[in-house]
């Protein structure tokens, strides 16, 4: 399944119609503006990148272009009620970089009125509120409208990477310290 996306925001009279790609990641539904999505592809082979953060699953080749694959569940530390196999990659471009958002399932293309987007509450449990442009209530569902510029900002990705590397180093140091305590004195030459 490959869909090329290029339908812009429409304006009908005084009403602005916005089209969203709605997808599921973990137990949450997210939306991104359709003009921010280059295409949707099936999840295929991902080549891992050594020592990258957990949420960067690796890189993929999309018709000769290298795309960084980011797992949305891991990126936002989303809880999972049941183990779900991710099915799709939502390909988007930020600056000169291509990113593929690994999602559980692309649900629909949704057309809404701009006025249907409500401000995000000041406290959002599942993800950092700076990544959210608003909340959409649609057919008894809540859809979190993501701000891809912030989600994929190079500075933010670097900051998260540094934090994860510090955690990894702290865990390694803790492991090294605890494993040395079990070495018999006769074998400990230091």
pLDDT tens digits, 145-154: 999 998 888 6
Note the helical H segments in the chain: 72-75, 148-151, 154-180
Distance CA 53, CA 132 (A): 22
Nearest partner of 75 among 175, 12, 146, judged by Cα: 146
Give a yes or no: residue 169 inside a domain. yes
Write the pLDDT tens digit of every residue in 150-167: 888 866 677 666 655 665
Predicted pLDDT at 3? 46
Give a yes or no: residue 136 inside a domain. yes
Give a yes or no: residue 127 inside a domain. yes
CATH number at residue 132: 2.40.50.180
Mean pLDDT of 134-147: 93
Structure tokens at 125: 């449990």
* pTM (two decimals): 0.75
Give a yes or no: residue 125 inside a domain. yes
Burial (CB count within 10 angstroms: exposed 0-12, middle 13-18, buried 19+), residue 75: buried
Give a yes or no: residue 189 inside a domain. no
Give a yes or no: residue 118 inside a domain. yes
Predicted pLDDT at 153? 83
Give a yes or no: residue 10 inside a domain. yes
Distance CA 112, CA 143 (A): 12
Residues 91/67, Cβ–Cβ less than 8 Å: yes
Number of separate domains in the chain: 1
Give a yes or no: residue 20 inside a domain. yes
Q: 128 versus 58: which is more confidently predicted?
A: 58
- Supply the mean pLDDT for the chain: 80
Predicted pLDDT at 34? 96
Predicted pLDDT at 180? 53
Q: Domain limits at 7?
A: 3-180
């Amino acid at each position: 399944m490959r869909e090329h996306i290029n339908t812009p925001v429409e304006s009908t009279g005084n009403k602005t119609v916005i089209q969203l790609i709605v997808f599921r990641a973990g137990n949450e539904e997210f939306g991104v503006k359709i003009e921010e999505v280059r295409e949707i592809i099936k999840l295929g082979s991902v080549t891992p990148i050594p020592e990258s953060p957990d949420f960067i699953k690796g890189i993929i080749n999309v018709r000769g272009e290298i795309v960084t694959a980011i797992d949305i569940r891991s990126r936002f530390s989303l809880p999972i009620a049941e183990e779900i196999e991710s099915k799709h990659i939502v390909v988007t471009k930020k600056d000169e970089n291509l990113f593929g958002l690994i999602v559980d399932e692309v649900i629909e293309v949704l057309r809404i009125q701009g006025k249907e987007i409500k401000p995000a509450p000041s406290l959002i449990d599942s993800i950092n509120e700076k990544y959210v442009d608003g909340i959409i209530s649609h057919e008894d569902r809540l859809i979190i409208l993501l701000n891809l510029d912030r989600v994929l900002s190079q500075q933010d990705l670097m900051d998260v990477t540094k934090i994860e590397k510090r955690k990894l180093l702290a865990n390694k140091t803790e492991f090294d310290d605890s494993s040395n305590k079990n070495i018999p004195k006769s074998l400990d030459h230091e």
